[in-house]
Chains A and B, each alone.
Chain A
Amino acid sequence: GAVVSQHPSRVICKSGTSVKIECRSLDFQATTMFWYRQFPKKSLMLMATSNEGSKATYEQGVEKDKFLINHASLTLSTLTVTSAHPEDSSFYICSAPPQGSSYNEQFFGPGTRLTVL
């Protein structure tokens, strides 16, 4: 089946620093990728939709200047948490529907655990 990877799997950083998380589709192309945030014992909340070659679409309440998204190619999207603070600590998950699949199935990455001290 299709595989989505994320790097790093976990990161610990100091407050005020920026952290970049990569999401790659390994064996398929994706013009769209989704970034979710998952709180403990909570659902996945969609943060933004990453679009290859154009600006990302952010959900209401998500600060676009804080969570920078770049969809550099058909297999790579990056999420940069700028000036991270402890409240940004969370589990970040990306997903990607294969190009042309009409979003009928999304393949999820393993997630990145971010801890901001």
Chain B
Amino acid sequence: AQSVSQHNHHVILSEAASLELGCNYSYGGTVNLFWYVQYPGQHLQLLLKYFSGDPLVKGIKGFEAEFIKSKFSFNLRKPSVQWSDTAEYFCAVRPSNDYKLSFGAGTTVTVRA
């Protein structure tokens, strides 16, 4: 079974700082990759996804992620965060021949004004 690891449990940063959240997965086959965000009191929302093609994926709200196949990584980035980016971020992986999503443990991001 595949596993997903997120390196940072809690990240605290100031507005306008750059953000990078690590995500690695263990699965030898072709995968679809996702980043979800959960704002306080709200449901999970899709930030971006990668299926194939350009490994640099742009999502909503200025987020982007880069798929590096050789490193089994799908790191999330944002050049300049805002206070409203305070949320829980989850990386998820789905083997392309399966329907099940496996989630990382999540990273809490706190942006200080």
Q: Could you list which residues of chain A lie within 8 angstroms of chain B, going by C-beta atoms?
A: 4, 32, 34, 41-46, 49, 93, 95, 97, 103-106, 108-111
Q: Is the CB of A104 within 8 A of B51?
A: yes
Q: Is the CB of B101 within 8 A of A49?
A: no
Q: Is the CB of A110 within 8 A of B43?
A: yes
Whether, in the assembled complex, B13 has its beta carbon less than 8 Å from a beta carbon of chain A, the answer is no
Q: Could you list which residues of chain B lie within 8 angstroms of chain A, going by C-beta atoms?
A: 4, 9, 32, 36, 42-46, 49, 51, 90, 94, 99-106, 108
B104 shortest CB reach to chain A, Å: 6
Residue of A nearest to B43 (CB): A110
Chain B residues, CB < 8 A from A111: 43
Determine the distance from Cα of A45 to Cα of B3 in the docked complex, in whole angstroms: 11
Chain A residues, CB < 8 A from B102: 46
Using a Cβ cutoff of 8 Å, how many contacts connect chains A and B? 46
Determine the distance from Cα of A46 to Cα of B32 in the docked complex, in whole angstroms: 17
Task: Give the residue among B42, B101, B106, B108 with the most A Cβ atoms within 10 A.
Answer: B101
Residue of A nearest to B94 (CB): A103
Q: Is the CB of A106 within 8 A of B101?
A: yes
**Which of the residues A4, A42, A103 comes within 8 Å of B99, measured between beta carbons?**
A103
A61 shortest CB reach to chain B, Å: 12
Q: Is the CB of A105 within 8 A of B49?
A: yes
A9 shortest CB reach to chain B, Å: 10
11 A–B pairs (Cβ distance < 8 Å), ordered by A:
A32-B99, A34-B101, A41-B108, A42-B106, A44-B44, A105-B49, A106-B101, A108-B44, A108-B45, A110-B42, A111-B43
Chain B residues, CB < 8 A from A110: 42-43
Determine the distance from Cα of A105 to Cα of B32 in the docked complex, in whole angstroms: 10
B7 shortest CB reach to chain A, Å: 14
